[in-house]
Amino acid sequence: MATKQTLIITTTANRADVSSFPTLTGFSVVETTPDGTSTRYLVKTSDDSATWKAYDASSSTWKDVATQDITASSVMSEGMSKTALEAVPASAMTGFVGKSIDIAAAMQTTNDTQPTITSVTVKGESGATVTNQTTDLPMIDTAGDDGKSTEI
């Protein structure tokens, strides 16, 4: 079977609106990745001039990805794994405070099984209250020719 990839990007209707959160503490992802499948993520603020970014743990900074006109393939090669996205420390979230966050998620399968991404949550705190903004990403069928997947 040929490798198939799918790209999901949030829109104004489902981006993570964390503009009222004074403190952001990180991300959490609900996904299923059977053998032969994988996922990757990029994030950006919803500002018009914002660029897609991946967190570089070795330098403790967000870095612009080389491909800003993103595709499923570019997100798979330049994006963060679920583990890397969930490992972003609270100290690295300050650039997102007071904004909305767009998320790009790419899924890939090399066999008949499919990865699923149920949600990406931006976690935050407001004083003693823990607040989360969950972005539910639609489950996309990467097995069929539904116009949403790309064979590579």
pLDDT confidence of residue 129: 63
Whether 98 has a pLDDT exceeding 60, the answer reads: yes
Cα–Cα distance, 33 to 24 (Å, whole number): 27
Residues 6+ apart with CB under 8 A from 69: none
Position 146 confidence tier, pLDDT thresholds 50, 70, 90: very low
Position 127 confidence tier, pLDDT thresholds 50, 70, 90: low
Report pTM: 0.84
pLDDT confidence of residue 137: 47
Residue 75's region, left for phi above 0, alpha for psi from -120 to 50, else beta, is alpha
81 or 134, higher pLDDT: 81
pLDDT confidence of residue 104: 93
